[in-house]
Every structure is written in structure tokens, then in C-alpha cells.
Amino acid sequence: MARPASAMRGQILDSALRLFATSGFNGTSLHAIAVDAGCSKASLIYHFSTKEAILTELLTPAGEGLAALDARLAGLSEEQQVEEAVTGYVDLALRYRREVKILFEDTPTMICNPAMGDITALAERLIEAMSGGSGDARRIVSAHMVLGAVFVTCASEIDVPDELLRDELVEGALRTLGHRAG
């Protein structure tokens, strides 16, 4: 019996995400995704015309999450912005760990994917929020450090329960920024 189209589509996406995270986007073929998903390459192409289309669908929720975080930061006090920027960013990086790993593997190519929106502008606003809108060089450098460290840590294979990892990332990021968790 054939699987429903939505189930097949989901299986293709699950397989692609796993393979992209382990072998890289460029190291994964459509054939490998089809084999892993248990379908023919023709069936895969029926659902997704290209590997880039699969990647875009995989990255869209992360890009939307980053845009939603950016929107939540507007109108918050400086102190609230710092904490919300840190906790929101850590939560997104943990929720989309495999997507972060894919982005990390080939950052210049991946950040240009339309699913990520204007990631450069979003990252600049996140840094501004983490630095409390300060023009102070130390606070700006600290915000850049937090942005990069959370990204790299979530792209790494660390054998730590997600809840503990989240707590340590938030606490360490806030400490780096000179804030205490509230």
C-alpha cells in the first residue's frame, strides 16, 4: 500500500535533514535521500524538484523563528531585550540543531538561502539587542561572541541533555554580556 503524499513528503524531509546534518548539503545526493526515505528518486522529485527546494523547506521554520524573535524584541526595554534575545536565540538554536549544523557546514552558501530571510540584518538586530543597544565596543564584541558561540555549540555533537545545555548556554551568554539571568 502506498504511503500518503504528506507522509512521504515528511519522510523525505526527515531523511534529507539527517543526511545533510551528517554528510553536508553538498555531500548528499537526491539518490541518497530517496534511498534513505524508502522511495524512488522519481517519487522524491515529484515532491521536491531539487535538493535546494528540500533545503529551503527545511530552513524555512528556522528563518521564520528568527524573524519572530526579531519582532518580539521590538518595544522591549533594554534589559528585557538582552534577556529575550539570549533566551530566544538559544531556544531557536537548540530547536533547530540539525539545521544549524547544516548552516555551519557551508555558512556562506547557506545564509543566502531565501528561507533564511535577510539573516545578516536579523543577526545585526539580534547583536544590537544582546548589547542592549549600546555603542560600547566591549558590549558589541560580547554580543558577537554570544551569537557565534551559541551557533557553534548547537552545531556540535555534545552529549548533554538539551535542558542542561539550554540552561548553560543562557547562563553563559548572559554572563558574557554582563547580565544575570532574571
115 versus 48: the higher-pLDDT residue is: 48
Domain total for the chain?
2
Considering the domain boundaries, does residue 172 fall inside one? Answer: yes
pLDDT tens digits, one per residue of 122-149: 888 899 999 988 888 999 999 999 998 9
Considering the domain boundaries, does residue 38 fall inside one? Answer: yes
Considering the domain boundaries, does residue 182 fall inside one? Answer: no
Q: How would residue 3 be classed by pLDDT, with cut points 50, 70 and 90? A: low
108 pLDDT more than 80: no
Considering the domain boundaries, does residue 181 fall inside one? Answer: no
The predicted pLDDT at position 110 comes to 65
Same domain, yes or no: 65 and 40:
no
CA Rg value for the chain: 18
Same domain, yes or no: 124 and 37:
no
Q: How far is CA 13 from CA 17, 52, 108, 145, 170, in A?
A: 6, 12, 22, 32, 30
Same domain, yes or no: 109 and 156:
yes
Q: What CATH number is associated with residue 12?
A: 1.10.10.60
Considering the domain boundaries, does residue 54 fall inside one? Answer: no
Same domain, yes or no: 66 and 125:
yes
35: helix, strand or coil? helix
CA distance linking residue 20 with residue 100, whole number of Å: 11
What domain range is 134 assigned to? 59-176
**Quick count: other Cβ atoms within 10 Å of Cβ 120?**
11
CA distance linking residue 170 with residue 53, whole number of Å: 33
The predicted pLDDT at position 179 comes to 83
Considering the domain boundaries, does residue 79 fall inside one? Answer: yes
Considering the domain boundaries, does residue 19 fall inside one? Answer: yes
Which pTM does this prediction carry? 0.79
Same domain, yes or no: 91 and 165:
yes
131 versus 5: the higher-pLDDT residue is: 131
